[in-house]
Amino acid sequence: MPTPDIFLDTSALFSGIWSATGGARMLLKLGEAQAIKLSVCSQVLTEIEGVLRRKAPQSLGTLALLLDRSQIHVISQVSAEQISDCQSIVVYKPDAIVLAAAWTAEIDYFVTLDNKHFLNNQELHKAAPFPLGTPGSCLAWYRSNLLSR
């Protein structure tokens, strides 16, 4: 199996920064070890910076350090057409932008903790060309792919 490309949304990235343990931080560590390729989009970076400035400004340095160490790839170009297509599935525009970036990048797994817009969205699960799940479910997916090699 080639190196899987894992996309982190804002909630997953926040979880990885906020907690030194747990599935999201493990994904960041796997990115650092180059066992997986991690991706985010510019919308995720804008959102995470805003959240940290409001809730935990002391964590901005940790964000920069973990982004660098984990070698996170930033997807910056998303077409208006792709955003519009995704907004028909995920109505909330900021999340549609995030989804469009993941879709455009042809990722292997979309990691989120957002139940409202992503995890409980059955239409999205049917339409997406990639699995969606929590950091823990992504790690289980990764492990099963390693074992099936």
Q: How many CA atoms lie within 13 A of 75 on its CB side?
A: 25
pLDDT tens track for 74-96: 998 899 999 999 999 999 999 99
Q: What is the pLDDT of residues 30-47, one digit of tens each?
A: 999 999 999 999 999 999
CA 135 to chain centre: 9
Percent of the chain with pLDDT over 70: 99
Domains and CATH numbers, the chain: 5-147 (3.40.50.1010)
What pLDDT digit, counting tens, does each position of 7-31 carry? 999 999 999 999 999 999 999 999 9
pLDDT at 149 over 90: no
Residue 51's pLDDT band, with cuts at 50, 70 and 90, is: very high
Band (pLDDT 50/70/90 cuts) for residue 2 is: confident
Contact 141, 7 (CB under 8 A): no
Tell me the residue type at 25. Answer: R
Q: CA–CA separation, 80 vs 56, rounded Å? A: 32
Which residues neighbour 143 within 8 Å (Cβ) at sequence distance 6 or greater? none
